[in-house]
Amino acid sequence: MSGDASLAGSVLCVGHVCVDLVNLCSYYPEEDAKVGSTTKNNRNVSETIEHFLLQCPRFHSHHVVLRSQLLTLNVATFDLPTLLGGAGLLPCGSMHSGRIVYIWAHDTHGSPAPPPCLEQRWQRGGNAANNSTVLGLLGAKAAFLGTIADSHEKRFLLEDFAKYGVNTEQAVVCEGCECPSSCVILSRANASRTIIHSNKNLPELTVEDFTRVDLTPYQWIHFEGRNVANVAQMIALVREHNKGLTQGEFITTSVEIEKAKPELEALIPLADVVFVSKDYAAFKGYSSMTETLDRVRAVAHPGAVVVCPWGEEGASACRGREVAVHSSAFPPTCVVDTLGAGDTFNAATIFALAHGSALVDSIRFGCRVAGAKVGVVGWEPLRGLLKAGALLLKDEAATAT
């Protein structure tokens, strides 16, 4: 893949894209009523499904009727179409990629009525995909590199990328694969969410795919923390590319360490900027931002920036052995949609750092944009806030209150 002059100075986001099937409910079943997010992968959904059915034995949708056989399924290889078929779901008309509009029926057997579903929507998901969306909204030249299934969802995904100005010319289209999907249940009561993700057969981006990309146009390449062995080799290729270049020509690399997976630690020493999530910190037994920064910078590349967002407590960061800096959170009046909040913070912080902002200003900008994001539904309202000048990158330290 050859370079494009129009991409000069771009930020390339490398990782995953999927379709999110988002369902907004008025409140959660009691056992799930907690603030935060729970991500269940293909092999850990049975408990979630069982709780779901116990709370809602008479669950219905526009297209299907869910029967209790779902509890007897072997969900170790869960994917949405197979799950629906195996559960005894009765099709009533066409179904497009498991797109389900949930309508809750009142339980006539005396148990409390389950929470009604208020709305349903499709949206493009995936960490790197979200990063590129936010960068595009902020005005960066953003590009996405990852695999996309050659399925009927491909058009939706590519058109949605284009809507936010994200270049997808480098994306690798995989024939004969199904598009990954996430079934998301959001609670309006406290903005918490549960996510069940399915990826049946879409392969990860390979090192060979990455070697076909002309790196010359890119100022920054951000890697989603996944597919560890390949991502490590990709970062090494960027470092090799940087050899012999002047400092102003270097491509900065960043990596997100988000999931509670021990193998992700191998990526920490490789990147120039390391984003470490609160979930990963908890998995490692770190109890605070300060402890997380101290532990991570001990194994990070010398002089690397380590950034640790901590939800409603804001974010902290350090550069090498320098004194850590901190930003408070900027919560909205009402939290309505936390999907993509972490991706928003990471992207906005990258945007600020790439524009030469100080580290403390950069994480404060990340906190401001992420705070704005959780106060609106989806991405489109952010466009309006940006046009109104509500989220301009500025001297954050000078304007902090």
CA gap 398, 309 in Å, rounded: 21
CA gap 130, 161 in Å, rounded: 9
Confidence at 388, pLDDT banded by 50, 70, 90: confident
- The tens digit of pLDDT for each residue in 241-266 reads 999 898 889 999 999 999 999 999 99
At residue 351, what are phi and psi to the nearest 5 degrees?
A: -55, -45
SS3 235: helix
Q: Is 1 exposed, middle or buried (0-12, 13-18, 19+ CB in 10 A)?
A: middle
Q: Tell me what percent of the residues of the chain surpass a pLDDT of 90.
A: 61
Nearest to 129 by CA among 153, 147, 111: 147
- The tens digit of pLDDT for each residue in 2-33 reads 445 556 679 999 999 999 988 888 876 555 44
Task: For the chain, give percent helix, strand, coil, nearest 5.
Answer: 35, 20, 45
- Contact at 8 Å (CB) between 372 and 338? no
CA gap 2, 236 in Å, rounded: 20
87 has pLDDT over 50: no
- The tens digit of pLDDT for each residue in 168-212 reads 999 999 999 999 999 888 887 777 788 889 999 999 999 999 999
pLDDT attached to residue 79 = 42
Confidence at 63, pLDDT banded by 50, 70, 90: very low
- The tens digit of pLDDT for each residue in 288-303 reads 999 999 999 999 999 9
The average pLDDT across 77-102 equals 37
- Contact at 8 Å (CB) between 274 and 296? yes
pLDDT attached to residue 184 = 87
CA gap 343, 315 in Å, rounded: 14
pLDDT attached to residue 372 = 96
DSSP state letter for 15: S
CA atoms within 13 A on the CB side of 10: 27
pLDDT attached to residue 369 = 97
**pTM exceeds cut of 0.85:** no
Q: Which two tokens stand for residue 262?
A: 């021990």
Number of helices followed by number of strands (H, E) in the chain: 12, 18
pLDDT attached to residue 127 = 97
pLDDT attached to residue 387 = 82
378 has pLDDT over 80: yes
39 has pLDDT over 80: no
pLDDT attached to residue 223 = 99
The average pLDDT across 53-79 equals 36
- The tens digit of pLDDT for each residue in 302-332 reads 999 999 999 999 999 999 999 999 999 999 9
Q: Which two tokens stand for residue 122?
A: 């499709």
- Contact at 8 Å (CB) between 332 and 252? no
- Contact at 8 Å (CB) between 153 and 179? yes
- The tens digit of pLDDT for each residue in 318-371 reads 999 999 999 999 999 999 889 999 999 999 999 999 999 999 999 999 999 999
DSSP state letter for 14: E
Q: H helices of 45-124, where?
A: 46-55, 80-86
Write down the domain spans for the chain.
5-19+125-180+199-399, 20-122
pLDDT attached to residue 189 = 78
Q: Does domain 5-19+125-180+199-399 have CATH number 3.40.1190.20?
A: yes
The average pLDDT across 101-111 equals 40
